[in-house]
Chains A and B, each alone.
Chain A
Amino acid sequence: MLKDEDMAVADGGSYDYGLFVIGAGSGGVRGSRTSASFGAKVAICELPFHPISSDWQGGHGGTCVIRGCVPKKILVYGTSFPGEFEDSKNFGWDINGDINFNWKKLLENKTQEIVRLNRVYQRILGNSGVTMIEGAGCLVDSHTVEVAKPDGSKQRYTAKHILIATGSRAQRVNIPGKELAITSDEALSLEELPKHAIILGGGYIAVEFASIWKGMGAEVYLFYRKELPLRGFDDEMRAVVASNLQGRGIRLHPGTNLSDLSKTSDGIKVVTDKGEELIADVVLFATGRTPNSQRLNLEAVGVDVDQIGAIKVDEYSCTSVPNIWAVGYVTNRINLTPVALMEATCFSKTVFGGQPTKPDYRDVPCAVFSIPPLSVVGLSEQQALEEAKSDVLVYTSSFNPMKNSISKRQEKTIMKLVVDSETDRVLGASMCGPDAPEINPGWNSPVCC
């Protein structure tokens, strides 16, 4: 189990560490902790904490904790209340006076929580015996990492194995005026709530922010290139999500791109590729994220990347350099926190646990926290029809949830099962409706097995 460490010592030319990790996000922290538990001597470098990431700012916990999953979920909770207040009327509740929303309070409480979690992550690493180094790491050679510290100094560390877990960053579309747009980082920390928000993007981030701002009272316009948002998801579910977004008052602009942003006294003037003009307080680009691999000096060391900059790895997360590994978003496999955690655990088992383990990407569930939310696992109907060897049975149930029978909200819940008619195996399950993300996880074990 300890053979790598022993070998390092026995080699004579011993390394500072058995493992050096660049990036203390989901994958990096899991990889360092588990490797340390196998007896490895581990160090991890991470940029100083800030809610908005940059070349010099990041923080322990990474995107998920600081500017992704966690703050997003907090905002989704916060934005759900007005809908609930509305629903409560027919249950007998009367909110006689004004309902006031203090965005700054929510922002403050959100920041407090991510700061707390950031500290928890540091404590977890400390308790696991991992050495924490603050600064930006990059490769010098296949066994050396150089960390540029906040005070300007640089220090080099040698390691038998290096794990790159630097994640990804939001990208901006290259159109005139793009600097006027914000990304999800800023969106999670806006000083003022927008009254008019334009969102460009069709993925889950765009859809979630559309729901968040709409719930908080903004006029929201969602622009995306395809006919429906959430490309890659089950087509029927995509249509349901779109219909729900509209039902909640979000204006959808399918098949439309933005071509120009400019500043005016009334706000940001947005011109679409159909010639339409709108004014918004905030324009959010949620058009994809790129792997954070540019400043790592990878080419010089021989670590291969693909055309978008994602680090190429084999099934064990090993890069083109035998002792350099990479997990999480920087490898652009399935970009979800639980998957980064799985990749990191498998990495540790392989390298330090003596148990070569490949992450299993089958039937990874995921959720989109729109309002109401969507949760899926396994194959979509389209995928099942393409991949299944026999006929496919599709079971759907579309119903008005009980709560709506009193609240009178016109919003149906849809559940769907896709089944192989010969083996009776459930190939996929999806649901769009309240509590879908909590309900679906229970389905994952049965679908996987």
Chain B
Amino acid sequence: MAMATLLSSSAAAVPTLVRALSLRRGGGLLHLRHPLAAASRGPLLRLGLLRPLSASAAGDNGAAAGGEGGRYDYDLFTIGAGSGGMRASRAAASLYGARSAVCEMPFATVASDGLGGVGGTCVLRGCVPKKLLVYASKYSHEFEESHGFGWTYGTDPKHDWNTLITNKNLELQRLVGVQTNMLKNSGVNIIEGRGKIVDPHTVSVGGKLYTAKNILIAVGSRPSMPDIPGIEHVINSDAALDLPSRPEKIAIVGGGYIALEFAGIFNGLNSDVHVFIRQKKVLRGFDEDVRDFVAEQMSLRGITFHNEQTPQAVTKSDDGFLTLETNKGTINGFSHVMFATGRKPNTKNLGLEEVGVKMDRHGAIVVDEFSRTSVDSIWAVGDVTNRVNLTPVALMEGGALAKTIFGNEPTKPDYSAVPSAVFSQPPIGQVGLTEEKAIEEYGDVDVYTSNFRPLRATLSGLLDCVYMKVIVCSNTNKVLGVHMCGEDAPEIIQGIAIAVKAGLTKQNFDATVGVHPTTAEELVTMRSPTRNVRRDTAAKN
């Protein structure tokens, strides 16, 4: 009964749904017919992750079905086929019927002025290869853990770096193919080459000119390095993901998530790792307690931190080893020195200044809430705009843009409660405000914390711990932020992010029955606050 209704009502409303976006790598969804579906229940229309939408192209700002069709080659021309560029161009084409093209440079593991690849940083030189290397490096800890569970080895497990990098690169090749197919299947025209803006409606790629009603810049960012003596001996994250051999002893300069993730990776693969940070603590901007906790846990795993040190020079000796000089001293004997000291928007040589697209002093393209630049027909999303530099945010910005331009529904990306993770070892997951920001904005907050040894560690005998914090507005009881550092934090935080974004209260959390035995259940069983901060009350008194 219900099924029949669903079938008939849906069939008319969503003729294009079968072609709707598949949101993930190789993610089969939508039209899966499960073996069970046929027999007992009759055909059941499975819809994708997107809601049924009208497939007609939008009005005058978007895809012009008949009228302006001849004036421009495309309705949308996107420069850069990374996360943001791909999302926008595909949505424009497949959801709204826009004529969409994207240009992207040929694939390489290390980006340059002329090399990139479909998929962008996330797929080729960021999130994906990083996560694969994190997986590879976690096994050493697991081998150690296994002893407490009864496992021993005839000889110690050994790691072959080449096998890892080769398999990683094979996977990247496969993903470039997958991403390319995704673009093609969505009806987006792919043009290989480096794009440059010629005028508000024209992009040049490899000498050929393409006109478009709208131009989207989604060229992302690249690692930036300070200009110090010996910088030519230093590798960045691109190169670190593709080294010819395992570093014996590596200096990683930087205190952000990239530095910490690589520290964990190389440490897990048995390198001697030294992290140099300018600040007192790692991960500036993160919750203070999490900053302390993660550094402590990483130190317990053998990583050496050198705090409040600013790099001044790198020198290479005759035997090939590198020396890092900082304001506090000199350490030598490094096989590699890596700088993870920030990333810069890729805005050089795009023709932006000439066409009048405004940039800030970091080179990021300035956009309004709808991702529009200072030139009416030119838009920008993703890292190049330096808002919240995360893939899912670029996806959100790209999707919102397509809706705005072609869906006739001006849509602002919503930056509240954006969760994120750091794949350090142990990893971090967070959503919402840090304690410090919560106190600043809300004054009176209740803070619940838990610091415990998980079941797995009591058996393994290792020193792994888990830290969790839930920050609650004491007036409304809304959960303002959740922070966690420990195994599985990134997986755990995703569902929690839904709750925080929905504005759920501590009561809602408490009323939720936990799943036992898990680490996650701790988040819904924190009964007494660790501290009640009463800044506003104190101020009034």
Binds B, one of A92-100, A194-202, A278-286: A92-100
Identify which of residues 476-513 in chain B touch chain A, using a CB-to-CB cut-off of 8 Å: 488, 491-499, 502, 504, 508-509, 511-513
Report the minimal beta-carbon distance from A289 to chain B, rounded to whole angstroms: 16
Q: Does A171 contact B (CB under 8 A)?
A: no
> Which residue of the partner chain A has the closest CB to B489?
A438
Q: Does B163 contact A (CB under 8 A)?
A: yes
Q: How far is the CA of A405 from the CA of B170 in the complex (A)?
A: 10
With A403-B135, A443-B498 known as contacts, the answer to whether A375 contacts B515 (CB < 8 A) is yes
Q: By the criterion CB–CB under 8 Å, are B153 and A442 in contact?
A: no
Q: Does B226 contact A (CB under 8 A)?
A: no
Report the minimal beta-carbon distance from B211 to chain A, rounded to whole angstroms: 38
Q: By the criterion CB–CB under 8 Å, are A442 and B499 in contact?
A: yes
Taking CB atoms, residues of chain B closer than 8 Å to A74 are 149, 455, 459
Q: Does A168 contact B (CB under 8 A)?
A: no
Identify which of residues 503-534 in chain B touch chain A, using a CB-to-CB cut-off of 8 Å: 504, 508-509, 511-521, 523-524
Q: By the criterion CB–CB under 8 Å, are A444 and B149 in contact?
A: no
> Which residue of the partner chain B has the closest CB to A386?
B2
Instruction: Fill in one digit per residue for B9-27: 1 if any A CB lies within 8 Å of its CB, else 0.
Output: 1000000000000001111
Binds B, one of A138-146, A260-268, A293-301, A358-366: A358-366
With A391-B9, A438-B492 known as contacts, the answer to whether A97 contacts B167 (CB < 8 A) is no
Q: How many residues of B contact A (CB 8 A)?
A: 81
Q: Does B284 contact A (CB under 8 A)?
A: no
Binds B, one of A151-159, A302-310, A334-342: A334-342
Instruction: Fill in one digit per residue for A379-420: 1 if any B CB lies within 8 Å of its CB, else 0.
Output: 000100100101111111111101101100000000000000
Q: By the criterion CB–CB under 8 Å, are B513 and A109 in contact?
A: no
With A81-B142, A110-B459, A399-B27 known as contacts, the answer to whether A70 contacts B49 (CB < 8 A) is no
Q: By the criterion CB–CB under 8 Å, are B516 and A64 in contact?
A: yes
Instruction: Fill in one digit per residue for A99-121: 1 if any B CB lies within 8 Å of its CB, else 0.
Output: 11111111001100100100000
> Which residue of the partner chain A has the closest CB to B10?
A391
Q: By the criterion CB–CB under 8 Å, are A93 and B139 in contact?
A: yes
Partner among A97, A103, A105, A338 whose Cβ is within 8 Å of the Cβ of B513: A338
Q: By the criterion CB–CB under 8 Å, are A442 and B497 in contact?
A: yes
Q: By the criterion CB–CB under 8 Å, are A70 and B517 in contact?
A: yes
With A385-B3, A439-B495 known as contacts, the answer to whether A113 contacts B458 (CB < 8 A) is yes
Instruction: Fill in one digit per residue for A311-343: 1 if any B CB lies within 8 Å of its CB, else 0.
Output: 000000000000000000000000011110010
Q: By the criterion CB–CB under 8 Å, are B164 and A397 in contact?
A: no
Q: Does A441 contact B (CB under 8 A)?
A: yes
Q: Does B418 contact A (CB under 8 A)?
A: no
Q: Does A90 contact B (CB under 8 A)?
A: yes
Taking CB atoms, residues of chain B closer than 8 Å to A439 are 491-492, 494-495, 520
> Which residue of the partner chain A has the closest CB to B23?
A397
Q: How far is the CA of A430 from the CA of B160 in the complex (A)?
A: 38
Partner among A96, A106, A402, A437 whose Cβ is within 8 Å of the Cβ of B150: A106
Taking CB atoms, residues of chain B closer than 8 Å to A90 are 163, 167
Q: Does A449 contact B (CB under 8 A)?
A: yes
Q: Does A445 contact B (CB under 8 A)?
A: yes
Instruction: Fill in one digit per residue for A9-40: 1 if any B CB lies within 8 Å of its CB, else 0.
Output: 00000000000000000000000000000000
With A97-B155, A441-B492 known as contacts, the answer to whether A397 contacts B524 (CB < 8 A) is no
Identify which of residues 30-64 in chain B touch chain A, using a CB-to-CB cut-off of 8 Å: 32, 34-37, 41, 44, 46-49
Q: By the criterion CB–CB under 8 Å, are A402 and B131 in contact?
A: yes
Q: By the criterion CB–CB under 8 Å, are A400 and B26 in contact?
A: yes
With A93-B158, A239-B34, A421-B6 known as contacts, the answer to whether A448 contacts B511 (CB < 8 A) is yes
Q: Does B70 contact A (CB under 8 A)?
A: no
Q: How far is the CA of A371 from the CA of B159 in the complex (A)?
A: 26
Partner among B146, B151, B513 whose Cβ is within 8 Å of the Cβ of A444: B513
Taking CB atoms, residues of chain A closer than 8 Å to B499 are 442, 445-446, 449
Q: Does B285 contact A (CB under 8 A)?
A: no
Taking CB atoms, residues of chain B closer than 8 Å to A116 are 458
Taking CB atoms, residues of chain A closer than 8 Å to B512 are 441, 444-445, 448
Partner among B49, B164, B459, B498 whose Cβ is within 8 Å of the Cβ of A91: B164
19 A/B residue pairs, CB under 8 Å, sorted by A: A88-B157, A91-B132, A99-B152, A99-B154, A101-B150, A103-B150, A235-B36, A239-B35, A385-B3, A388-B2, A392-B2, A396-B29, A406-B135, A437-B515, A441-B512, A441-B515, A444-B495, A444-B515, A448-B508
Chain A interfacial positions (CB closer than 8 Å to B): 64, 69-70, 73-74, 77-78, 81, 84, 88, 90-106, 109-110, 113, 116, 235-236, 239, 336-339, 342, 360, 363-367, 375, 382, 385, 388, 390-400, 402-403, 405-406, 421, 435, 437-446, 448-449
Identify 11 new A-B residue pairs, CB closer than 8 A, beyond the known A435-B491, A442-B493.
A94-B159, A99-B151, A102-B151, A106-B150, A236-B37, A388-B2, A391-B6, A394-B44, A437-B520, A441-B521, A444-B495
Pairs of residues from A and B, 6 with the lowest C-beta to C-beta distance, nearest first: A442-B495, A97-B154, A92-B164, A106-B150, A91-B136, A78-B149
Chain B interfacial positions (CB closer than 8 Å to A): 2-3, 5-6, 9, 24-29, 32, 34-37, 41, 44, 46-49, 128, 131-132, 135-136, 139, 142, 146, 148-155, 157-164, 167-168, 171, 174, 455-456, 458-459, 488, 491-499, 502, 504, 508-509, 511-521, 523-524
